[in-house]
Amino acid sequence: MAKTPHSQLFDVIVVGAGLAGLVAATEATASGARVLLIDQESEANLGGQAHWSFGGIFLVDSPEQRRLGVKDSLELAQQDWENTAGFDRSEDDWARKWARAYVSWAAGEKREWLHQRGVRFFPVVGWAERGGAGAQGPGNSVPRFHITWGTGPGLLEPFIRAAEVAEAKGQLTMLWRHQLDDLVLVDGHVTGVRGTILKDDNAERGKASNRIKVANFEYFAPAVIVATGGIGGNLEKVRAAWPARLGTAPESMVAGVPAHVDGRGLDIAQKVGARLINGDRMWHYTEGIANWDPVWERHGIRILPGPSSLWLDATGKRLPDPLWPGFDTLGTLEHLRGTGHDYSWFILNRRIIGKEFALSGSEQNPDLTGKDIRAVLARARVDVPGPVQAFLDRGEDFIQSDTLDELVTKMNELTGENLLDPAAVASVVAARDAAVENAFGKDGQLAAINLARRYLGDKLVRSVKPHRLLDPKGGGLIAVRLRTLTRKSLGGIQTDLDSRVLDFAGEPIPGLYAAGEAAGFGGGGCHGYRALEGTFLGGCLFSGRAAGRHVGGVVGRS
């Protein structure tokens, strides 16, 4: 792709070549705008964090849901979003508007808009973030997690293709290794960008690149769109923003995004008057494991668990209801931060891990990413999928044993803290196993598993029939150490529904827009405190689309 800019004026400058930036740029070029897209990393990182994603998309009342017998509606989805978000601040006004607009889009035009661009979905809809705290509590009342066929790269494909077409037509220029340092502000209007050209770097996607300065740059346009992402790769910023309501920040975390996701764009926007809100709202996972084959420093992967693993805190106490695997991310994080330890445990067996463990990310799902139907079907013919087996064989957080006593001994050896009493853990496991034998019983997790298996999608691919963990037919015992995995900033730059950046008086800053995670996925935090999952990629699509269409319309009118 082009390395030098055209000798022409630009109508729009987009900062950040992730999904939101690509959508904004291509929507603007579709309206006839001349767009400059810059990114501090190399072209190898085109698509940003979406490339690494599982490709989960939040849709409401979709054909995929209906084929599986799921009854969904806009009204139910809006109710779930409000109950989950917990909006409670005066500055949440625009976030609420974005939430309502986004859910309406997810129930309406979103699927067709993606379908027209060639995006397709895996036929089994996942039931992520199930809640469990009652009808008015947080979580999805029904399955809504649609996996893109091709995962993250499959979702990016049509927008990269559109960018290449626009570039060939001379409407789009893409410049790499261009690090934004300042937004140009003239008489209250943002009129361009200034920054540093960094030395070329052949590092692979996600690997840390150099910050060696070779030159400066300065480009001008009537509109600038900031799509620079959040702070998840900067663990110190995560700790600094960590809210007291979630306890103390973990001393030991794994990073779900590369180091260049560092929040610089947020600070730069704030310098020209942009209002940053809800910085204390964040979305991190408690099921993080160290990647045995890391791409970036402290590279972590999230386990997408089915409902059957027994979840214990670092001292061996079972987590309270309804903090079961896959039910309440933020509730579980808050609870575990109150234990005073930076890790927790899953105890399960080979039968459970084989069917219920998925690993988040495109690179951990080569069959779905490669759109290989035979390989997807082959999952059903092996007891443990290859990527999961690789973690069993090489992952530092995985322990295997034939006996529970030996398993607990190895768990203590792994942490070096000796917090687990083998007899106490055996008592917890025995009580859980005894409940399996009871046709009635009072174990909430087992009741939730049985409910999950009433949904055909879960019964087919995501949950095993309840059985004793110590059943010899389970195939051996497994323990997995879990740590906090950084992922998303839920707050960010406040914007109106056209993605225009607002100042502290609530007025648009002329010429400045924000999209994607930098804008809290719309409005400075359309998720509120919690997310319903499958909504981050969708938030990038929706806010990038709004920004690109609005600037394109302005260009057309002028």
pLDDT at 426: 98
Where does residue 427 fall: left (phi above 0), alpha (psi -120 to 50 degrees), or beta otherwise? alpha
The amino acid occupying position 304 is L
Q: What is the pLDDT of residues 186-228, one digit of tens each?
A: 999 999 999 999 999 999 999 999 999 999 999 999 999 999 9
Q: Cβ of 99: how many Cβ atoms within 10 Å?
A: 26
pLDDT tens, residue by residue, 352-406: 999 999 999 999 999 999 999 988 888 878 899 999 999 999 999 999 999 999 9
Residue-level pLDDT at 555: 72
Beta strands per DSSP E along 128-275: 145-147, 172-176, 178-186, 189-198, 213-220, 223-226, 254-255
d(C-alpha 46, C-alpha 160), whole Å: 8
Contact 142, 129 (CB under 8 A): no
Question: What's the pLDDT at 379?
Answer: 83
Q: Is the four-CA dihedral 57, 62, 67, 69 of positive or negative sign? A: positive
CA dist 389 → 104, 395, 449 (Å) = 40, 9, 24
Tally: H helices and E strands in the chain: 18, 21
User: Can you tell me the mean pLDDT for 331-340?
Assistant: 97
Evaluate if residue 1 carries a pLDDT over 50: no
Residue pair 141/135 in contact (Cβ under 8 Å)? The answer is yes
Q: Mind spelling out the 3-state secondary structure of 448-476? A: HHHHHCCCHHHHHHCCCCCCCCCCHHHCC
**pLDDT higher than 90, residue 54:** yes
Average pLDDT over residues 538-550: 98
5 pLDDT more than 70? no
Give the rounded distance of the alpha carbon of 64 from its chain centre.
22
| Mean residue pLDDT across the chain | 95
Cα–Cα distance for residue pair 385/388, rounded to 1 Å = 5
- Confidence (pLDDT) at 381: 81
For residue 120 the two structure tokens come to: 């397709």
The enclosing H or E element of 345 equals strand 343-349
Token couple for 318: 């079972």
The per-residue pLDDT for range 452-497, each reduced to its tens digit, is 999 999 999 899 999 999 999 999 999 999 999 999 999 999 999 9
Identity of the amino acid at 204: E
**CB count in 10 Å sphere of residue 317:** 14
- pLDDT tens-place string over residues 403-427: 999 999 999 999 999 999 999 999 9
Which residue in this structure is represented by tokens 């140009």? Answer: 184
**76 has a pLDDT exceeding 70:** yes
Distance between CA 16 and CA 541 in Å, rounded? 14
Choice among 131-140, 167-176, 222-231, 335-344 with the minimum mean pLDDT: 131-140
What integer pLDDT is reported at residue 217 of this predicted model? 96
Residue pair 468/433 in contact by the 8 Å Cβ criterion = yes
pLDDT range class, residue 103, cuts 50, 70, 90? very high
The pLDDT tens digits of the residues spanning 276-323 come to: 999 999 999 999 999 999 999 999 999 999 999 999 999 999 999 999
Residues with Cβ within 8 Å of residue 275, at least 6 apart in sequence:
91, 493, 494, 501, 502, 503, 504, 506, 524
pLDDT value at residue 3:
45
% of the chain residues with pLDDT over 70: 98
Q: Which of 259, 212, 217, 214 is nearest to 235 (CA)?
A: 259
Span 229-263, pLDDT tens digits: 999 999 999 999 999 999 999 999 999 999 999 99
Residues 6+ apart with CB under 8 A from 393: none
